[in-house]
Structure 1
């Protein structure tokens, strides 16, 4: 079976082409917000794997206004692509974790930028409420609004071990609150967290498929500097089963085959800066991994949702 772009899965590039009239670039923003598992509300230290420096570009600094961050980001990307549209990506930390009036102010500032056509908002499942969903739903009447939750795992024990300080039950409740409100709902998932077997991870695909999500970002577990996980990895490396490139490519094809076929796969891997990355060091770019996954899916004659179809037929 083939989807668009001769892919065997529902790819993000095709989705963007269907949704927008031209190329779209996300501009990362940092509001300066924190997280409830950092400020003591629910815990301290944040998630054991988290170092936001692994994905914040140079212009993305909370001491700059939203407009300044957008202007600098657009100036950077417009050098390469003259004609494109922009999405304001509230990426760092938890972007709904503040007084709702401040949240609204920053979102309005971004959406009113003349070159911004929508918002992408990264947050936690326990940092959303009905008032905020009502506000975002109203914005979505005239703008593209994507709300992404860090799911990371569907196992309660794992969420506790990595200091998420929320439950998977809360994840389910957050999506129930946000569904059918005109929002594009995304999910982030980490593949290979300590203590999870391959069977556990494959079951994540089944559980994710039950959620009302539109898109999914997969991140292979990376151990990065200046995190609690870096210390855990140094002290007890035997607790970690980090994927090699070959193992990950093979495994993720089985994962994809268990996913509901309408879910858009936005990414398969993360790329942490080399000066921060401890392990695993694959030394391959995202497009190179994707090419390997495409090839492996063809070799195994798998496609997104195939294993669901097989189970229904048996």
Structure 2
């Protein structure tokens, strides 16, 4: 983003009032086993703040604290394409005139997309004058047995279909992937994570978010943890798996995150997942000390690609 726009572009999380088919009874009322009842959102809409008011709240903080001027609107809470296309259109209309709006990121599920919604999203790039539209799709795992076990509500084929349809319309697809998910035979590990990375590599996916699975309060996973039916990965396990996954990942796929951060008060376990700064330092140290870099497994003799360098300019061919 710095290379493209010449400066930092800050994400602003927005709650547009969407629900999830895995919570409202369409598919289930229990949600995915790991998902907290708040759906990883701020809950600001329930507190009476409009999209514009939420924007102003966060923007003022970033302007005063960091002097920032460019922002990405991140429709984050729950599944932001769930429901009729008119609901999505209303939410997008709420972005009109937001000062500093540069890009749009929208989190959703692959089974909450159809041609009309994808066409509507694609039209926003020109309408709002956006530099990029990131469609963040929850995959979590490419293993269908795992997806059933975690009550995901869709299979890997649904993700592949949605990613292809979105990419055809010029939307930038970002996959969400979790390490250490509970599985029918215990817990996913390195092999399953690498299989998921290979799955993503074969699709028109241009971004990825890696998440270490942690146990949140009020979830099915927390009950499994208390009953001794699930043990989250250790920090050393996660660092080892993450390093291998990144080295396996196509170097043209932009990594948006290398770990997940629990909200205040929601973390049950493991303790190490709750200290963001310490975890960031551990990830950095692990990569530096072991000379790990993205795509290394498939291009070790070539070295890191040129576009990893800070001086790589906007518009240069990758």
Residues 144-293 of structure 1 mapped to structure 2, 5 A cutoff: 144-195=132-183, 196-235=188-227, 237=228, 239-282=229-272, 285-293=275-283
- SS of equivalent residue, structure 2 residue 88: helix
Query: Are the structure 2 counterparts of residues 41 and 58 from structure 1 closer, same or farther at C-alpha, using a change threshold of 3 Å?
Result: closer
Contact kept, 8 Å, 2:18 with 2:79, in 1: the verdict is yes
Question: Is residue 57 of structure 2 the alignment partner of residue 72 of structure 1?
Answer: yes
- SS of equivalent residue, structure 1 residue 140: helix
Contact kept, 8 Å, 1:150 with 1:189, in 2: the verdict is yes
TM-score, scaled relative to structure 1: 0.87
* Pick aligned residue for 2:287 from 283, 297, 312: 297
After TM superposition, give the deviation of residue 57 of structure 1 in Å.
4.0
Runs of 5+ unmatched residues, structure 1: 1-15
Contact kept, 8 Å, 1:31 with 1:92, in 2: the verdict is yes
Query: Are the structure 2 counterparts of residues 206 and 111 from structure 1 closer, same or farther at C-alpha, using a change threshold of 3 Å?
Result: farther
Deviation readout 1:98-152 (Å, 9 max, x if unpaired): 2212211211221431332221100000001111111221222331211100111
- SS of equivalent residue, structure 2 residue 175: strand
Provide the C-alpha distance between the structure 2 equivalents of 1:36 and 1:284, rounded to a whole number of angstroms: 29
Deviation readout 1:265-289 (Å, 9 max, x if unpaired): 1111111135211111116644543
After TM superposition, give the deviation of residue 59 of structure 1 in Å.
4.5
Runs of 5+ unmatched residues, structure 2: 302-318
- SS of equivalent residue, structure 2 residue 113: coil
TM-score, scaled relative to structure 2: 0.86
Provide the C-alpha distance between the structure 2 equivalents of 1:20 and 1:183, rounded to a whole number of angstroms: 18
Partner of 2:298: 308
* Pick aligned residue for 2:105 from 100, 104, 120: 120
Contact kept, 8 Å, 2:52 with 2:95, in 1: the verdict is yes
Higher relative contact order (CA 8 A, sep 6+): 1
Q: Aligned Cα RMSD in Å? A: 2.1
Deviation readout 1:39-69 (Å, 9 max, x if unpaired): 1111221111111548434746464221111
Contact kept, 8 Å, 1:111 with 1:117, in 2: the verdict is no
Further displaced range: 116-125 or 55-64: 55-64
Contact kept, 8 Å, 2:32 with 2:152, in 1: the verdict is yes
Partner of 1:12: none
- SS of equivalent residue, structure 1 residue 110: coil
